[in-house]
Amino acid sequence: MPKTILPYELGNLNWSEIESLAFQTFISDYCISSLNRTVSRGYLNGLESLIEKAGPASTVSQSCKIISLANLGKKASSPMLLQKAETLYFDFLPSFRSTISNEGKSTTIQSLITAVLLGLYEIITITSSELDSHVAHARGVSAILMNKYSPYDLVCGVQLFQLTNPLSKDLKGSDPKNIATPTLQTSKSFSILCPPLIHSPWATLDPIFVKTISLKRKAEKLLGDEIEATVIDDLQLLKQEAELLTLRYGRPEVGYWPGPVLGYYDPYVACIINSYHKSQLLVLDIIARCHRATTNLPQDAKMDPWIYQEGQKLALSITASIPYFLAENVQVFFNQSLASDMTSMTMIPGPSVGGLLSMHTLYMVSKMSVVDPALKVYLSDCLAWIGRNMGIAQATMLSEHTSTNLSDYVRQAHVLIWAGMLI
């Protein structure tokens, strides 16, 4: 966020001016406008015009006021603004629950974005004692998109959202051998996780992401610490399935061979590239864990050289994107880092949306067995930095829970992040 937006003393402003400042600060911090929809979907793209058309009394306007005040309260370290946002939030929830329960009113873009904004409010204000505070809103987003009257015809139907829904009926408590793994297919429907040439099958990533998430669920069931003995045949089948999926990742569409990236069109594009690399890492991690389990190797045993090399390459490509996501001006930061006096310059934080779109990937990568331990510590430090400098409390919480695996919790938050790419 540009420094000039935030005054040193909020006490000099009347309430109307504070609300206006909060709104403009939030738009600057969390919205990515896409000037070319064939390249990037942006993030919360068009939110300002949506609110203008909906009017100040609309649910989307009220929810935006809540998160805007909370965001400004975090930036200005203002307990008064944070308390005001919290009061408005709890006053607003009953009426929005009533709206969501009405099928005719709930399946609108306004209702969807309202649920997203309320979920983001929980993400930036969360405390360590409220780990699942965003779940209700993730559930609301999932319910809207799963409804037959949903405003979107998605490439994978609702699978991308249903698989991350904490109450997904076809996954919760299932036998891992019977969890369906979606087939990879090309679709002409609306896609979230690709350059969005609408009604085009070009470079659609949604199906392969859905398949990876499903495979990860199977792995957690079969490789979980709570399972004393797992049938070796099941692990062998899981390993084979993961190996087949690596072939799919390693065989991109013509013209899409992955390689070094010196810059990105915008944070949305950077987020999609990182998500792709993170998913590849997830599959490699499953293969490595299955290999150890089927051969009775200790956890610290040396892994297959190919898996190690691929894992380091992918992890480092994600690490190389961190300044782009977090720095106010990545070129200035890069030039300063090359200064001849070898002094370490403090990175000036950019818009908070960079931290929002990168923090879950950084957390997931920091928990993988195929990633170098020193790099894991660095990624945890980056999460703490996002929390301190970008006002996102969930990043702080993720950096502090180093001994707890919160993968399910993070997947639930993905519902809210991905849904913000729909408008």
Digit-coded pLDDT (tens) for 146-160:
666 555 544 444 444
Averaging pLDDT over each range in 165-174, 235-244, 265-274, 404-413, which range is the top one? 265-274
Q: Dump pLDDT digits (tens) for 33-88.
A: 988 877 788 999 999 999 999 999 999 999 999 999 999 999 988 999 999 999 99
Among positive and negative, which fits the CA dihedral 331, 335, 336, 342?
A: positive
- Could you tell me which residue, 99 or 339, shows the higher pLDDT? 99
Over 50: is that where the pLDDT of 167 sits? no
pLDDT at residue 161, rounded to an integer: 47
Q: Packing angle between helix 79-101 and helix 59-75, nearest 10 degrees?
A: 160
Q: Packing angle between helix 353-366 and helix 393-400, nearest 10 degrees?
A: 20
pLDDT at residue 188, rounded to an integer: 40
Q: What angle do CA 422, 416, 404 make, to 5 degrees?
A: 150
d(CA 100, CA 122): 18
Over 50: is that where the pLDDT of 181 sits? no
Q: Dump pLDDT digits (tens) for 263-317.
A: 688 999 899 889 889 988 988 888 888 877 777 666 655 667 888 888 889 998 8
Q: Dump pLDDT digits (tens) for 344-391.
A: 567 889 999 999 999 999 999 998 888 888 888 888 889 999 999 999
- State which H helix or E strand residue 418 sits in: helix 407-419
Residue 349 has phi, psi (to 5 degrees) of -70, 145
Contacts of 250 (CB under 8 A, 6+ apart): none
| Strand runs labelled E in 83-136 | none
Helix (H, G, I), strand (E, B) or coil at 327: strand
Q: How confident is the model at residue 201 (pLDDT cuts 50, 70, 90)?
A: very low
Instruction: Report percent pLDDT > 70 for the chain.
Output: 62
Over 80: is that where the pLDDT of 137 sits? no
pLDDT at residue 372, rounded to an integer: 85
Is 117 within 8 Å of 89 (Cβ atoms)?
Answer: no
pLDDT at residue 149, rounded to an integer: 59
Cβ neighbourhood burial of 314 (10 Å; 0-12, 13-18, 19+): buried
d(CA 200, CA 322): 31
